[in-house]
Structure 1
Amino acid sequence: MLLRREYKYLVPNKYLDDIRNEMLPFVETDRFASACENNQYTVRSIYYDSPNLDFYHEKIEGLKIRKKLRIRGYNKFMDDCVVFLEIKRKRENFIDKHRSKIYYKNLDDIFYTGDLDSYIIQSDADSIKNAQRFFFHVNKKLLKPISLVVYEREAYFSRFDTNIRITFDKNLRYYSLPLFADLYEDNILKPAIKNHFVFEMKFYQGFPEHFSKIINKFQLIRLAVSKYSICIDADKELRPTSNKKFLALGNPVWKDKISRKEAI
């Protein structure tokens, strides 16, 4: 299987318009983004981690092979909106994903019953298998919802190779120890990083010289940027208290705001 490469850059906001203008002759707006206001959409992810924040520490320590588990939704709440159970694996600069669909309204039920056949939307042959992978890791490591990570995304693809995808992720914000009910709540969010955006390029074989020239022109330095890790670092209360106090909580969801508060 051919794995996708992912390059990331943390860029000052003051360069956003200039970089976008340099890119526009070579890209088309993503179809999903073009259907949204201002040609951007909102990405909402509830990230899971272990009682000791293993996934966070694997990133900080620079492990070459690591993974993240998250529940991902988009834009605003609507009746019958769909979210995704995702595992994102990273092998150095290469990434792959396993994801399955579920109606947002059924999240509590699937976590409490484990009934994948009843709640997973079987849109392809791997839907159930991917959900099984997700819950295997959740249950094995006693994973908990640690951080709701939200941002606006501009998404483009190359005019000359649709496998090359460019995104600008802006206005990164977070909420720690979220409930499922918090996924679409904007009034609880806190800024994670105010003066920068994350510029990402995803591709398989390589990308053309004109993209390299733009990167060099703005002296962008490729970094191992993790929006989840940035949000953990932004919460001064979460990191010092989480390592010991999550251990007693075995269920992979917060039952309510009281149980969540007791964890901190």
Structure 2
Amino acid sequence: MRSLDPTGNDDGGGHALRAASRLHAFNRYEIKYLLPVTAVPALRRVLAGRMEPDSHSAGSGGYGVWSLYYDTRDLRFYWEKIEGLRFRRKLRIRHYGDRSTIDDDTAVYVEIKQRVNRVTQKRRLALPYRLARELCDGRAKVAQDPFLDEVLELLCGLDLRPIATTGYQREAFVGRGADAGLRVTLDHRVRGRDRDFHLGADAENRLIVPARLAVVEFKANERVPYWLTDLAAELNLSVVRMSKYCQSVEAFGRAPRSVFHVPDEATATRIEV
């Protein structure tokens, strides 16, 4: 089964399920907020008037985003985020869409996400899920590619292993005209688990962010337009440093609750997905 990148970038059109796709890389600024779900309709109306729905979420209520994060035994990547290091990174396998359809041939992304000062950088390649697991879990060289060599070096050099998954339903809007390069995402029902790490596993997940909250992100190549920052002020949005990965680590007791942990009066709720 072939999968497209909901950021609007096709994985190559002729993506061969036997090999890696071309490298996709980009830099951008990201600002994250928490918004009560009761305020989401008002935000959605404004965004729909100024932006275009992502082609994968138009008229469908969004799409699933599922990620498996790798880290060291002592959670090096987690602590780099909590401590706010100017250079930090993390490794993950990500799938867009219905996780119940994932099989060995499903295209997923092997991704290094890193932060350099205030800029977020992402580099990723699409692989069939079978090869992604052989690379990240089996530490096997699955293709001749410099990026995959870097991933393998990270895995072996730091002895990385799967730590946590996250999943959520995403609505996305993309800028038009003068706002080209702008992207706004609204993530609902943010959940995760700390075991059964196959992305397609029929496993129980726990809400790791209260169901009453949506995670909103503004993503821009250069700057966020004034109309959007004004809108954030009107909605009384406050910038947060929460990380879905860190939230999952803390929700399952792998690390103490940090000062960035989202208040969790609802995080004990269990849901079947």
State the TM bucket, normalised to the shorter chain. Answer: 0.7 to 0.9
1:101 to 106, 114, 126: 126
Q: What does 1:172-191 align with in structure 2 at a 5 Å threshold?
A: 172-179=190-197, 181=198, 183-185=199-201, 187-191=203-207
Question: SS state of the match for residue 87, structure 1?
Answer: strand
2:189 is the counterpart of 1:168: no
Please, which runs of 5 or more residues in structure 2 have no aligned partner? 1-24, 257-273
- 1:186-206 CA distances to partner (integer Å, 9 max, x unpaired)? 541111012211110111221
| Deviation (angstroms), 1:96 | 0.9
1:58 to 80, 86, 101: 80
2:253 is the counterpart of 1:228: no
Q: Give, in whole Å, the separation in 2 of the partners of 1:147 and 1:233.
A: 10
Amino acid at match of 2:53: T
The answer to whether the 8 A contact 1:146-1:178 is kept is no
The answer to whether the 8 A contact 1:145-1:178 is kept is no
1:32 to 49, 53, 56: 56
Q: Give, in whole Å, the separation in 2 of the partners of 1:32 and 1:173.
A: 21
Please, which runs of 5 or more residues in structure 1 have no aligned partner? 121-127, 241-264
| Deviation (angstroms), 1:221 | 1.2
The answer to whether the 8 A contact 1:7-1:93 is kept is no
The answer to whether the 8 A contact 1:174-1:192 is kept is yes
The size of the alignment, in residue pairs, is 226
Amino acid at match of 1:153: R
Q: For the structure 1 residues 29 and 2, does the alpha-carbon distance in structure 2 shift closer, same or farther, using more than 3 Å as the test?
A: closer
Question: SS state of the match for residue 3, structure 1?
Answer: strand
2:157 to 130, 140, 146: 140
| Deviation (angstroms), 1:177 | 3.5
2:38 is the counterpart of 1:14: yes
| Deviation (angstroms), 1:78 | 4.4
Hey, what does 1:192 align to over in structure 2? 208
Q: For the structure 1 residues 138 and 177, does the alpha-carbon distance in structure 2 shift closer, same or farther, using more than 3 Å as the test?
A: farther
2:174 to 157, 166, 181: 157
Q: Give, in whole Å, the separation in 2 of the partners of 1:115 and 1:52.
A: 25
Amino acid at match of 1:72: R
2:68 to 46, 59, 78: 46
Amino acid at match of 2:117: E
Amino acid at match of 1:167: T
- 1:48-81 CA distances to partner (integer Å, 9 max, x unpaired)? 1111011111111121211011001121224521
Hey, what does 1:74 align to over in structure 2? 96
Say which structure is richer in helix: 1
Seq. identity, %: 29
- 1:151-203 CA distances to partner (integer Å, 9 max, x unpaired)? 11101111222200100011100010343x3x123541111012211110111
The answer to whether the 8 A contact 1:148-1:178 is kept is no
The answer to whether the 8 A contact 1:10-1:197 is kept is yes
Hey, what does 1:114 align to over in structure 2? 140
Q: For the structure 1 residues 149 and 113, does the alpha-carbon distance in structure 2 shift closer, same or farther, using more than 3 Å as the test?
A: closer
TM (normalized to structure 1)?
0.79
Amino acid at match of 2:190: L
Q: Give, in whole Å, the separation in 2 of the partners of 1:215 and 1:159.
A: 19
Question: SS state of the match for residue 197, structure 1?
Answer: strand
Q: Give, in whole Å, the separation in 1 of the partners of 2:111 and 2:231.
A: 32
Hey, what does 2:7 align to over in structure 1? none
Question: SS state of the match for residue 57, structure 2?
Answer: helix
- Higher RCO structure, 1 or 2 (CA under 8 Å, sep 6+): 1
Q: Give, in whole Å, the separation in 2 of the partners of 1:99 and 1:228.
A: 18
